[in-house]
Amino acid sequence: MKPSSLVPFVVLLSLGILTLRSVEGAKKSKYGACPFISPAMCLVYEPPQCHSDWQCPEKQKCCPDLCGIKCLDPVDPSKPVAVNPENCPVVIGQCKMLSPKDDCLNDSHCLNGFKCCKGMCGNSCVKPV
């Protein structure tokens, strides 16, 4: 076999290996969801610990935290969420903010029997009626 006939073979082989590598790295995130973090004032922002889930150890995910981005244990999105059977109070009024922050996403984010309800400016934990 001539050396010149090996060049196309080597090029095709290397392209095949590169294609396999790109498919291998196509998986962007690990299973699970980032935990809900209640909004609060942050006095000092920390540099990010990660930029993707694959920089985190074991099953941890790269998630926004109170004062930065960190590797955190994921929550299972398929698990049922606790729901408080009581009703939310009626809200009258309209929010003037463009993108109000939610203090909760569901009842499991609230303590002391409170319920996550739509308020005038986003969701918040309130005493049910």
Q: Check if CATH label 1.10.3720.10 holds for domain 78-129.
A: no
Q: Please provide residue 116's backbone torsions phi and psi, each rounded to the nearest 5 degrees.
A: -80, 110
Q: Copy the structure tokens of residue 84.
A: 């408080």
Write out pLDDT tens, residues 35-87. 888 778 888 989 999 999 999 999 999 999 989 999 999 988 888 777 888 99
Supply the pLDDT for residue 51: 95
Write out pLDDT tens, residues 7-29. 554 444 444 443 333 434 445 67
Longest dimension (CA), the chain: 86
pTM of whole model > 0.85?
no
Q: Where are the domains of the chain?
A: 43-74, 78-129
Bridge partners for 62 per DSSP: 71
Amino acid at 42: C
Write out pLDDT tens, residues 83-108. 888 999 998 888 888 888 888 989 98
For residue 79, CA distances in Å to 4, 38, 61, 74 come to 60, 20, 18, 12
